[in-house]
Structure 1
């Protein structure tokens, strides 16, 4: 695309130069007689003009072409005709458009030479003595007006081009930032959902192998295998959702985010994987904004996932939720078991969770305890009248008796 624009710009410059060359020949009108009566070679003027235009078109340094036209304009002192004034304007336009302000102003000052020579040639060509001052003033005013028109037109085009370049760079930077944010969000979703489910599958398969080694019957293994199948299917659905978001620019899938009410299914899945999970809830449940409800779900999910990855056999997890009129406090305390399992996490879960909680307006803290690990989050709770579309948590909040 850029190469095409450059090629098109070069073609336009060549066409403009050809038209300017023809116009300069028209203004010249074949004059070759000097004030002293001598005749110059007929080919000299066209050859000089052609050479100046060739320098302007072929040299990357535009000031060389501009200088060439300044020299060609001096031929107007030797003959009673205007030489190269159109080419001088074209060179000025290119100098101003593609150079700095200092160079552009220098080129503007340099136009005094061709304007002076063209005025002198116009006066001598007319060959009249009466009204000479008026004629000189008219010529100087006309040439100066055209010069200023070329100057300001080129400066305007340069400013516009610079502004468009800057805006294009800003747009590209914003697009790259949006892409980076989208990649981070998808990476976070993959960790929060798919990685959690895969960890559960790994632990459940390990449990099945241990049971089979003890000679267990099929009736005892079948429920665990069924749960593995459900977990794997859930992971596949989550993968399909994320892949669909990658293929389409529409964000229609965002509305399928998990809510805080679904933590019971998380706890049930963790218990099937061998964790001892207890949930206690204090305070009266409040209405939650969907994004905050989803963030609370992710806190519990990350705490359970880390316990399954690092807690070892016999790990116990205590989940506590405390409701007030302004906030929801969630703590997930894991008490490590005796046997340690190697970690299967990439280490981005807590980082992504901190970003998610921060966006929701809450805070997150975590760290080791004497017997395990503590993950604690505080999320804002808005008043019901401020959130007409919020998620209402009523009597469906799971209690310790229901999940322990």
Structure 2
């Protein structure tokens, strides 16, 4: 791809090096040439000093913004040199206020103050040198040159203030852009984690039920064809439900408005749907019971879905790891300040095999952490496996009956199982 052509406006913008070169050339033609001509009015060493100082002071303008301190030092030194060597005033001395302006606007603050003091001192020296012949002319010279110096210094301060303000705005815009990108990355990572949890829960649970039904139907096909038919029916229904869930998740990803058309999105499951979940798992051949304790009340937004998904993942682990004869109990207990979900099974426990992924426990812990809760998962002391999730809740109304005594969980082993 060819580079875009630069226009004259681009080359000669005020902050370009080309603009500095143009200013220097103009200064040589407008100031240096007359200054050289004026230097010839002096005799001997003064004429040479005036000529050389005129060239040096003019050329030093090129670095007035890139190296303002060095440029000002050269101009001031050249002016002092030609004054001491006999050329008291040359046209190039008009560049002293320019150097003062440049070093005040673009250099460090100390350099601007030092340049101001040096220029005022030069005005006084010039006035004293003239005052030997005419006192009134001397005073007028000091006043006029000092006024010019102060005006140049004031303009430099205004320019410096504007440059600092622009730099502050640019830096603020850059920081806002970085913060915006960081927030977008955080939001993207959080959304990816949420979608990953949803897809893992849907796919893992559905496939576990399908596998359990397929294995049971295969063994029962020879002796009980009706059992095989029921297993195939369950597999078909589970597959349709999982496909609908996946379509819903993918539809949200494809839709830029964040959802599908009205009336086409099924409601997300909540804690009230645990009966349906338990019945579904029970249909796969696992003995599962559901116990509810306490008086239910509204949950914070999203907490009901988290309770459902945690229970779903725990029962999926029972199907995958507990063994063919395992039984499970789901307990949902409402306490005054928290909701407790506990899933126990009497399966293999610590002896269960692991697939090494461990995404299920990670997803459950992430869901609980979103609400400031805790999750404990691991083999039970007497055999089997336990998952216990506690989610903080707002205090129960005072009119509610006293809460049932909290369950005392069995002692937990130090290591946590990987499921």
TM-score bracket, shorter-length normalisation: 0.7 to 0.9
Deviation at 1:36, TM superposition (A): 1.8
2:109 counterpart of 1:105: yes
Determine which of 378, 389, 409 is the counterpart of 1:377: 389
| Displacement after TM superposition at 1:9 (Å) | 10
For structure 1, which segment, 258-267 or 29-38, has the greater mean C-alpha deviation from structure 2 after superposition?
29-38
Among 223, 235, 242, the residue aligned to 1:235: 242
Q: CA deviation at 1:261?
A: 1.4
Contact 2:97-2:148 at 8 Å conserved across structures: no
Check conservation: 2:371, 2:391, Cα contact below 8 A. Answer: yes
What displacement does 1:307 show? 0.6
- Worse-superposed segment, 71-80 or 267-276: 71-80
Residue 372 (structure 1) shift: 0.5
Structure 2: gaps spanning 5 or more residues: 83-89, 399-419
Bigger Rg over Cα = 2
1:142-153 mapped onto 2 (5 Å cutoff) = 142-153=151-162
Tell me, in whole angstroms, the C-alpha distance in 2 between the residues paired with 1:122 and 1:164. 49
- Alignment of structure 1 residues 124-135 onto 2, 5 Å: 129=138, 131-135=140-144
TM-score by length of 2: 0.70
Structure 1 stretches lacking a partner, 5+ long:
96-103, 387-404
* 1:129–1:71 CA distance, 2 compared to 1 (3 A): same
Change (3 A) 1:334 1:210: same
* Distance in 2, Cα, partners of 1:23 & 1:247: 63
- Give the direction of change, closer, same or farther, for the CA distance of 1:118–1:164 in structure 2 (3 Å limit): farther
Secondary structure of 2:280's counterpart equals: helix
Between the aligned partners of 1:345 and 1:17, the Cα distance in structure 2 is 68
Higher relative contact order (CA 8 A, sep 6+): 1
What CA RMSD, in Å, does the superposition of the two structures yield over aligned residues? 4.3
Q: Which residue of 2 aligns with 1:396?
A: none
Tell me the SS of whatever aligns to 1:279: strand
TM-score by length of 1: 0.72
Q: Report the count of equivalent residues.
A: 364
Measure the CA separation in 2 of the matches of 1:122 and 1:245.
81
**1:317 aligns to what SS in structure 2?**
strand
Within the candidate set 286, 291, 295, 1:275 is matched to 286
TM alignment of 1:5-404, pairs within 5 A: 13-14=15-16, 16-17=19-20, 20-21=23-24, 24=27, 30-32=34-36, 33-34=38-39, 36=42, 38=47, 49=58, 53=62, 62-63=66-67, 66-68=69-71, 70-72=73-75, 74-76=77-79, 78=82, 79-81=90-92, 82-83=94-95, 86=98, 89-90=101-102, 93-95=105-107, 104-109=108-113, 111-112=115-116, 115=119, 129=138, 131-212=140-221, 214=222, 217=225, 219-248=226-255, 250-252=257-259, 256-336=267-347, 343-344=354-355, 346-369=357-380, 370-382=382-394
Give the Cα–Cα distance (whole angstroms) in 2 for the partners of residues 122 and 242 of structure 1.
Answer: 85
